């Protein structure tokens, strides 16, 4: 008998989630499966907010940011009662498996549901690139490119006014967006939680580079550090250079996904359907050495991801 699979997006949205939804739906329909879209993450599962998708349900979405399935954070799903309600809805809808597109929290939910008899496969969807089992998460490239464009614009005005601009980028506690954006924009300094820093050293660097004629400065700060307004104030107080702080915020979560996000989302979505077709659940799909692979969810959650120390070091050495 042909299988029925569900798709949901959960946690923070990310550009490329729609491309993943499209790939999952189309790959499953191609294999003769029935596809159920579940709205607003685990909320939709608990409350039965689902609809049958056909091949046209995912037309014209590959280029769109956000998620047509909507997304949510669902506290109820962390408890047995919520999980049991969700399981019951899955049985009623005849779901043989679910593709969960989200981050670590969403995978924990997927593991819990898999343990209760509903196989779930996770796809890494977050701009933060903070999922350990994968080199790459859907949305990361678009977010970095958006951040880069924004910093370029900020540089125009910082240059005109001979100012220092402190720009805070997203990433929760991870500094991947910060280090790559900083490198791409030629920042004078990058401040992230992964690498110890001293604001006094950064201020010394600003003062030194001023002597060679540099008159405007970009400092990229990761969200995990925060305090960008305070950092700007301190730089201004100690250098006399007029300084401004900009928190880029949710602009980084939107927009049309880049080629990389669309392609990886498509590859991962296709791969996830293969797993569910074989009845394999409790897995997370990831990328290692540029190849699509999968891991047991618990194993994936226990992995550690190295920071881009080498890249950080290069940026630090050549920004003067
Ligand atoms: P992300 O998936 O981006 O890490 P969250 O941490 O907000 O985002 O998690 C998304 C959703 O996954 C939560 O709202 C909740 O429904 C579910 N979830 C998170 N943690 C757990 C957990 N420990 N057990 C079960 N479900 C969880
Ligand atoms: O995980 C993606 C992310 O945008 C983080 O970079 C940020 O810390 C968080 O989500 C913001 O979440 P919210 O949508 O609740 O403001």
Condensed to tens digits (0 to 9), the pLDDT of residues 10-30 reads: 999 999 999 999 999 999 999
Our separate counts of H helices and E strands in the chain read: 11, 11
Mutate to test the pocket of ligand 2, among 74, 103, 140, 172 (most ligand atoms within 8 A of CB): 172
pLDDT, tens digit (0-9, with 9 covering 90-100), for 194-243: 999 999 999 999 999 999 999 999 999 999 999 999 999 999 999 999 99
Domain ranges for the chain, please list them.
4-139+257-302, 141-253
Supply the residue whose CA is at minimum distance from atom 10 of ligand 2.
12
Task: State the sign of the Cα–Cα–Cα–Cα dihedral 11, 13, 19, 25.
Answer: positive
> Is the model's pLDDT at 91 over the cut of 80?
yes
189 — pLDDT class (breaks 50, 70, 90): very high
The reported pLDDT for the residue numbered 2 is: 80
- Ligand 1 neighbours, Cβ below 6 Å, are 10-12, 42, 73-74, 77-78, 102-106, 108-109, 112, 126
Which residue in 96, 128, 141, 294 is the catalytic one? 128
Q: What fold does the segment set 141-253 form as a domain? A: Rossmann fold (3.40.50)
Supply the residue whose CA is at minimum distance from atom 1 of ligand 1.
103
Quickly list DSSP for 139-202.
Answer: THHHHHHHHHHHHHHHHHHHHHHT-EEEEEE--TT--HHHHHHHHHTT-SEEE-TTS---HHHH
The CATH class of 4-139+257-302 is alpha beta
> Is the model's pLDDT at 1 over the cut of 80?
no
The reported pLDDT for the residue numbered 17 is: 98
Q: Note if 128 is an active site residue.
A: yes
> Is the model's pLDDT at 136 over the cut of 90?
yes
- Report CA(108)–ligand 1 centroid distance (Å): 6
Q: Which of ligand 2's atoms lies nearest the C-alpha of 127?
A: 2
Are the C-beta atoms of 248 and 87 separated by less than 8 Å?
no
Asked if domains 4-139+257-302 and 141-253 share a fold, the reply is: yes
Supply the residue whose CA is at minimum distance from atom 12 of ligand 1.
106
pLDDT, tens digit (0-9, with 9 covering 90-100), for 253-306: 999 999 999 999 999 999 999 999 999 999 999 999 999 999 999 999 999 999
- Report CA(89)–ligand 2 centroid distance (Å): 29
Query: What 3-state class would DSSP assign to 39?
Result: coil
Supply the residue whose CA is at minimum distance from atom 19 of ligand 1.
105
> Is the model's pLDDT at 94 over the cut of 90?
yes
Q: Ligand 2 in contact with 9 (CB < 6 A)?
A: no
What rounded mean pLDDT belongs to the chain?
A: 98
Q: Ligand 2 in contact with 12 (CB < 6 A)?
A: yes
Q: Which residues pair with 296 in a beta bridge?
A: 283
Residue 262 φ then ψ, to 5°: -65, -40
CA distance 96 to 92: 11
Q: Ligand 2 in contact with 182 (CB < 6 A)?
A: no
Are the C-beta atoms of 223 and 175 separated by less than 8 Å?
no
- 242 phi-psi bin (left φ>0, alpha ψ -120 to 50, beta other): beta
Task: State the sign of the Cα–Cα–Cα–Cα dihedral 163, 168, 174, 176.
Answer: negative
Give me the residue label for tokens 């506290």. Answer: 75
Supply the residue whose CA is at minimum distance from atom 23 of ligand 1.
108
The reported pLDDT for the residue numbered 101 is: 98
Residue 165 φ then ψ, to 5°: -110, 125
The reported pLDDT for the residue numbered 143 is: 98
- Report CA(28)–ligand 1 centroid distance (Å): 25
Give the rounded distance of the alpha carbon of 27 from its chain centre: 23
Instruction: Output the six-digit token pair for 83.
Output: 């999980």
pLDDT, tens digit (0-9, with 9 covering 90-100), for 27-61: 999 999 999 999 999 999 999 999 999 999 999 99
Q: Which of ligand 1's atoms lies nearest the C-alpha of 10?
A: 10
Q: Which of ligand 1's atoms lies nearest the C-alpha of 76?
A: 16
Supply the residue whose CA is at minimum distance from atom 2 of ligand 2.
12
Q: Ligand 2 in contact with 174 (CB < 6 A)?
A: no
**Nearest bound ligand to the CA of residue 169:** 2
Q: Which of ligand 2's atoms lies nearest the C-alpha of 170?
A: 6
Q: Ligand 2 in contact with 127 (CB < 6 A)?
A: yes
């Amino acid at each position: 008998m042909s299988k029925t699979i569900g798709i949901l997006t959960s946690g923070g949205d990310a550009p490329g989630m729609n491309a993943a939804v499209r790939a999952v739906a189309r790959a499953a329909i191609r294999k003769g499966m029935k596809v159920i879209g579940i709205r607003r993450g685990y909320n939709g599962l608990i409350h039965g907010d689902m609809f049958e998708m056909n091949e046209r349900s995912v037309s014209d979405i590959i280029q769109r940011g956000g998620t047509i399935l909507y997304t949510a954070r669902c506290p109820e799903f962390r408890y047995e009662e919520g999980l049991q309600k969700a399981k019951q809805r899955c049985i009623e809808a005849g779901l043989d498996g679910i593709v969960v597109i989200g981050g670590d929290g969403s995978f924990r939910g997927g593991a819990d549901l898999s343990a209760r008899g509903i196989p779930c496969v996770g796809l890494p969807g977050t701009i933060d690139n903070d999922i350990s089992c994968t080199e790459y998460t859907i949305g990361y490239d678009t977010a970095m490119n958006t951040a880069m464009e924004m910093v370029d614009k900020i540089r125009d005005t910082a240059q005109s006014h001979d100012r220092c601009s402190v720009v805070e980028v997203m990433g929760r506690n991870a500094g991947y967006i910060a280090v790559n954006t900083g490198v791409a924009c030629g920042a004078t300094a990058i401040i992230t939680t992964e690498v110890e820093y001293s604001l006094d050293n950064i201020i010394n660097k600003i003062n030194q580079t001023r002597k060679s004629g540099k008159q405007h400065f970009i400092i990229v700060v990761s969200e995990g550090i925060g305090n960008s307004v305070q950092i700007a104030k301190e730089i201004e107080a100690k250098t006399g250079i007029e300084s401004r702080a900009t928190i880029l915020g949710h602009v980084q979560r939107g927009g049309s996904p880049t080629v990389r996000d669309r392609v990886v989302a498509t590859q991962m979505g296709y791969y996830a359907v293969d797993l569910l077709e074989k009845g394999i659940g409790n897995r997370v799909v990831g990328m290692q050495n540029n190849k699509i692979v999968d891991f047991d969810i618990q194993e994936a959650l226990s992995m550690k991801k190295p920071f881009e120390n080498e890249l950080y070091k290069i940026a630090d050495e050549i920004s003067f």
